[in-house]
Structure 1
Amino acid sequence: MLPQLLEKISRARVLVVGDAMLDRYWYGDVERISPEAPVPVVAVKEEKDLPGGAANVARSVRALGAQCTLFSISGDDREADSLERLLAAEDIRCHLERDKLLNTIVKLRVISKHLHQQMLRVDFDCPASKDARVKLLDNYLKHLPEYDAVIVSDYGKGGLGYIQEMIQAAHAAGRPVVVDPKGDDYSGYRGANLITPNRKEFEQVAGRFRDNADLERRAMKLVQDLDLGGVLVTRGEDGMSLVQRDGKVLHIRARAREVFDVTGAGDTVIAAIGCAWAVGSGLEDAVHLANVAAGIVVGKLGAATASPAEILNELGKEG
């Protein structure tokens, strides 16, 4: 079933809306401690920019073969230029609501090449203005009919002030919506077809669970309270747990990997489900695809993606 699903995904049109950011990496050598304070001195030798946040979700969608467009808010600056250029290089359409009063969100990581270790992360955050959020909503409503499915990638940066309006509009247009949530209040995601919190995010809202039965009970309460189609809890090395509105439950083991780097794994999961739904897949097949794709991504270092060829190769090992 999954090979046929992958083939269909090449015809999918997926809209990603959320908090896009620029992931900036400075690589260098650490050879001494600063005389000014007891901290290492990193002599930067290399710089690299990558799309981050919702933009990385868009990368994951495109890597799976679907057409993808990203809607987000940014500053009117060089970082926004860089983000647009990076996405265009991967054939991803990008509609940034540029606000001259904002700075584009940047996560700067300083990494020691010699120690293979992240030494420091510096976040440049800037809350979006109401005007920018309204323009984003208007643009979303205008273009929504052009797409088969919607992915909402909420990184809690304030760029999504009208998620309820987006979900309701998608339902009115007959488009499924999958949400990667943030924060301790999920009421804004009411009515979504699926939300995909990781374990920590889920427990922040639903409380700590003792075992699978406890998880299922807490997830079903969330489904009922928020009128959701389902909850998919991604659990790292413990796999994934899906609880659906009709009472169906699915626990999937994580795929064994020598490297287990969860960076970007959640982006891959939501991208795979959005792509699968865009071509009419059932949720359980979509989740199985997401599990295979996430297994590939956690076997790589950094924010990686999974291609159809890699997924087919992985499925071939099962044959």
Structure 2
Amino acid sequence: MIRFTEERLNDIFKNFERVKVAVIGDVMLDRYIWGSVNRVSPEAPVPVIEVEGEDAKLGGAGNVANNIKSLGAFPLLIGVVGDDREGETLFELMKQEGFNTGGIIIDKTRPTTVKTRVIAHSQHVVRIDKESKEPINYTIQERIKEIILQNIHDLNAIIIEDYNKGVVVRNLIYDLIEIANKYDVLITVDPKFDNFFEFKNVTVFKPNRKEVEDVLGRKLDTEEKIIEAGRVILERLRCRYLLLTRGEKGMTLFTRDGEITHIPTKAKKVADVSGAGDTVISTITVALAGGANIVESAALANYAAGIVVEEVGVVPVNKEKLFKVALLDSKGEW
């Protein structure tokens, strides 16, 4: 177990305020329809949702940016939207959050990615996705690189947030990693299946257990298999750190020098796991860029995930609650 003193936590959290992180990836609009179910449809055996409210939030890479902001750091969100009403809504949400919209590129050939979640009685009923998975073209790839290079001297870290929606393509991956390593900027990755083994020589690589099972074609149902899989990925990707998230089993951190640290989950109750991965990659990146060591950073990311899964819907971590939980648990009082 990682134990923090109040002094150490104060030092780490104060450093968050000087961290600037570029988030590159699939920007989405998260829509929520909230309601209640009191009857079954006479037309089909499905529940009838009586709508009580609707709202919209930044999703995907946008939720990562929200988490970075909520931690007190500064996000630079870079992604692609369509020339449509949903894209306009996303711009409006960014402005409301005080985000710089200069990193958002409009592509008239694709729609803005939208995830609509229907929630009744605090239960996730159904999700409706509107998206294109077509790879972005060369011109947009070059524009993303330009934005990064224009800001590289102000950045402490880069997060690549891949949802396999077409923004994170192979040549862009290679270029971003080369730029980060050239300018000695941390680069962390939240991967998906398609490009999993393209992210070589990054600082932190953060897959979840299912993603690892899918790419390796094997079940990770024992500690021995988890450790074996971690070592395989470290060797193939040559990353500095591998953080494997394991749901109710917490996380396992692997380092290039062979150290393995198991971090048990800190979730008290699980209401909704949506967005937890975004919170983990945001927290570990901001903490590491702010001077925390890798074990401290992973522990804080684990606490942060435990906090957000207690809420229904995708929500960013609360900085004050994260501080409180880390301190109380270190004292054995949480």
TM-score interval for Structure 1 and Structure 2 normalised by the shorter chain:
over 0.9
* 1:96 aligned onto 2:107: no
In structure 2, C-alpha distance between the alignment counterparts of 1:120 and 1:260, rounded to whole Å: 15
Moved more, 243-252 or 261-270: 261-270
Instruction: Within 5 Å, give how 1:81-230 maps onto structure 2.
Output: 81-94=88-101, 95-112=103-120, 115-126=121-132, 127-130=134-137, 131-161=139-169, 162-183=172-193, 185-206=195-216, 207-230=218-241
Residue 3 of structure 2 corresponds to which residue in structure 1? Answer: none
Give secondary structure in 1 for the equivalent of 2:18: coil
| Cα shift at 1:302 | 1.9
Give the counterpart letter for 1:122 in structure 2.
I
Residue 306 of structure 1 corresponds to which residue in structure 2? Answer: 317
Moved more, 305-314 or 47-56: 305-314
Give the counterpart letter for 2:131 in structure 1.
D
Question: 1:59, 1:92 within 8 Å by CA — same for their partners in 2?
Answer: no
**Residue number among 14, 22, 46 corresponding to 2:29 in the alignment:** 22
In structure 2, C-alpha distance between the alignment counterparts of 1:234 and 1:105, rounded to whole Å: 25
1:166-214 per-position Cα deviation (integer Å, ceiling 9, x unaligned) = 1111100100111000015522211111111111112112332242233
Question: 1:154, 1:180 within 8 Å by CA — same for their partners in 2?
Answer: yes
**Residue number among 225, 241, 249 corresponding to 2:260 in the alignment:** 249
Question: 2:267, 2:303 within 8 Å by CA — same for their partners in 1?
Answer: no
Give the counterpart letter for 1:118 in structure 2.
H
Give secondary structure in 1 for the equivalent of 2:315: coil
**Residue number among 269, 278, 288 corresponding to 1:277 in the alignment:** 288
Moved more, 11-20 or 278-287: 278-287
Question: 1:26, 1:108 within 8 Å by CA — same for their partners in 2?
Answer: yes
Q: CA RMSD in A?
A: 1.9
Residue 302 of structure 2 corresponds to which residue in structure 1? Answer: 291
Give the counterpart letter for 1:180 in structure 2.
D
Give the counterpart letter for 1:191 in structure 2.
N
1:214-265 per-position Cα deviation (integer Å, ceiling 9, x unaligned) = 3122211211112211211111111100111110111011114033532221
Moved more, 99-108 or 213-222: 213-222
Question: 1:73, 1:128 within 8 Å by CA — same for their partners in 2?
Answer: no
Question: 2:164, 2:194 within 8 Å by CA — same for their partners in 1?
Answer: no
Give the gaps of 5 or more residues in structure 2. 1-7
| Cα shift at 1:108 | 1.0
Question: 2:209, 2:220 within 8 Å by CA — same for their partners in 1?
Answer: no
User: How does the TM-score come out when normalised to structure 1?
Assistant: 0.93
1:109-165 per-position Cα deviation (integer Å, ceiling 9, x unaligned) = 2233xx443332211011353133332233223322321101111111111121111
Matched residue count: 317
Question: 2:269, 2:309 within 8 Å by CA — same for their partners in 1?
Answer: no
In structure 1, C-alpha distance between the alignment counterparts of 2:237 and 2:157, rounded to whole Å: 20
Question: 2:122, 2:312 within 8 Å by CA — same for their partners in 1?
Answer: no
Residue 75 of structure 1 corresponds to which residue in structure 2? Answer: 82
| Cα shift at 1:77 | 2.0
| Cα shift at 1:303 | 1.3
In structure 2, C-alpha distance between the alignment counterparts of 1:65 and 1:132, rounded to whole Å: 30
**Residue number among 44, 56, 62 corresponding to 2:51 in the alignment:** 44
**Residue number among 65, 71, 75 corresponding to 1:58 in the alignment:** 65
Give the counterpart letter for 1:286 in structure 2.
S
| Cα shift at 1:35 | 4.3
Give the gaps of 5 or more residues in structure 1. none
In structure 2, C-alpha distance between the alignment counterparts of 1:279 and 1:317, rounded to whole Å: 22
Question: 1:195, 1:230 within 8 Å by CA — same for their partners in 2?
Answer: yes
User: How does the TM-score come out when normalised to structure 2?
Assistant: 0.89
In structure 1, C-alpha distance between the alignment counterparts of 2:28 and 2:222, rounded to whole Å: 36
Question: 1:26, 1:110 within 8 Å by CA — same for their partners in 2?
Answer: yes
